[in-house]
């Protein structure tokens, strides 16, 4: 059970779903909250069973999702289907009240570089900026469910996370329900960052022990939704109207 994400759901307002797009790489959910449309993003994760012709559908209610209310969509984060869970996280991100007073226009790479230079760094998830961080860190480990190059398998987290001074955990761990286990393994003295468009920008993440949140704010809903539905990767989606921000706790001085 993903206790952090369920605590977040309990804090959310309800809303009226307007649109749900599941693209090749990203899920975008648009919800009307208090008369205003908001859009949330999440990685469109798919498991092996989702591609198997003999298995059940990855999205049993496909075509009828807009008949649910927004909180019902958010509860899909607890599904065993990664694709349903992706809709759940995107719905949560659409429903979250904005906290612009806590946002700084800074992407995750810059945050990791600022705090990880000369230190032991773990990044959970393979991000494009990893070669640049590798040049700055004393030691860099990358943990991946689908390792490539010098990546370590996700199972190595038990040995690696306690050694790290800086830990960056992809927000997709909230989709595949590994976030809580990873947080348990973190060195209590380490700086912990959650990053990526799936990251919920809410102070409730700080209560769980995360220090910084590097996520995304959709500013041009129509353009972003259109790009997602046409198979855009994140660089393309970003250019269509996504603001990259890092959020810190009130009275924090990490940024």
The neighbour count for residue 190, using CB atoms within 10 Å, is 21
- Determine the pLDDT at residue 47: 66
Q: Please, what's the b/e burial string for 160-181 (b: 16 or more CB within 10 A of its CB; e: otherwise)?
A: bbeebbbbbbbbbbbbbbbbee
**3-state DSSP assignment of residue 113:** helix
Give the distance, in angstroms, between the CA of residue 197 and the centroid of all CA atoms in the same chain. 5
* CA-wise closest residue to 214 among 85, 92, 109: 109
Q: What fold does the segment set 3-97 form as a domain? A: Enolase-like; domain 1 (3.30.390)
Burial 65-91 (b: 16+ CB within 10 A, else e): beebebbebbbbbebebbbbbbbbbbb
Q: Angle between the 82-95 and 3-10 helix axes, to the nearest 10 degrees?
A: 40
Cα of 227 vs its chain's centroid, Å: 19
- As to burial, measured by CB atoms within 10 angstroms (0-12 exposed, 13-18 middle, 19+ buried), residue 119 is middle
Q: Which helix (H) or strand (E) holds 109?
A: helix 108-116
Written as tens digits, the pLDDT of the chain (255 aa) is 579 999 999 999 999 999 999 999 999 999 999 999 999 999 999 864 444 445 678 888 999 999 999 999 999 999 999 999 999 999 999 999 999 999 999 999 999 999 999 999 999 999 999 999 999 999 999 999 989 999 999 999 999 999 999 999 999 999 999 999 999 999 999 999 999 999 999 999 999 999 999 999 999 999 999 999 999 999 999 999 999 999 999 999 999
Per-residue pLDDT tens over the stretch 19-38: 999 999 999 999 999 999 99
d(CA 220, CA 232): 15
Nearest CA among 46, 211, 202 for reference residue 115: 211
| CB of 196 closer than 8 Å to CB of 240 | no
**Closest of 242, 227, 173, 241 to residue 27, by C-alpha:** 227
Domain with CATH 3.30.390.100 in the chain: 3-97
Going from the C-alpha of 253 to that of each of 115, 191, 212, the distances in angstroms are 12, 13, 11
**Which residues make up the CATH 3.40.50.11590 domain(s) of the chain?**
101-219+241-248
Pairwise CA distance, residues 82 & 206, whole Å: 25
**64-100: pLDDT as tens digits:** 999 999 999 999 999 999 999 999 999 999 999 999 9
CA distance 197 to 45: 13
Percent above pLDDT 90 for the chain: 91
CATH architecture of 101-219+241-248: 3-Layer(aba) Sandwich (3.40)
């Amino acid at each position: 059970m993903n206790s952090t994400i369920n605590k977040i759901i309990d804090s959310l307002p309800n809303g009226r779903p307007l649109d749900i797009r599941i693209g090749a790489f990203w899920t975008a959910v648009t919800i009307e909250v208090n008369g205003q449309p908001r859009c949330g993003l999440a990685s469109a994760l798919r498991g092996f069973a989702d591609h198997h012709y003999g298995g059940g559908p990855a999205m049993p209610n496909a075509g009828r999702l807009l008949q649910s209310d927004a909180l019902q969509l958010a509860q899909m984060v607890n599904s065993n289907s990664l694709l349903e869970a992706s809709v759940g996280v995107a719905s949560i991100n659409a429903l979250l009240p904005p906290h612009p007073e806590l946002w700084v226009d800074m992407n995750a790479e810059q945050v990791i570089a600022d705090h990880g230079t000369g230190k032991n760094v773990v990044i959970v998830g393979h991000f494009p900026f990893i070669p640049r961080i590798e040049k700055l860190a004393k030691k860099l480990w990358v943990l991946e469910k689908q390792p490539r190059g010098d990546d370590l398998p996700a199972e190595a987290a038990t040995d690696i996370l306690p050694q790290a001074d800086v830990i960056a955990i992809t927000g997709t761990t909230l989709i595949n329900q590994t976030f809580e286990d990873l947080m348990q393994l973190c060195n209590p003295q380490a700086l912990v960052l959650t990053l990526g468009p799936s990251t919920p920008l809410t102070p409730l993440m700080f209560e769980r022990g995360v220090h910084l949140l590097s996520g995304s704010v959709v500013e041009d809903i129509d353009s972003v939704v259109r790009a997602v539905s046409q198979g855009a990767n994140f660089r393309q989606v970003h250019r269509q109207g996504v603001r990259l921000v890092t959020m810190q706790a009130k009275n924090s001085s990490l940024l």
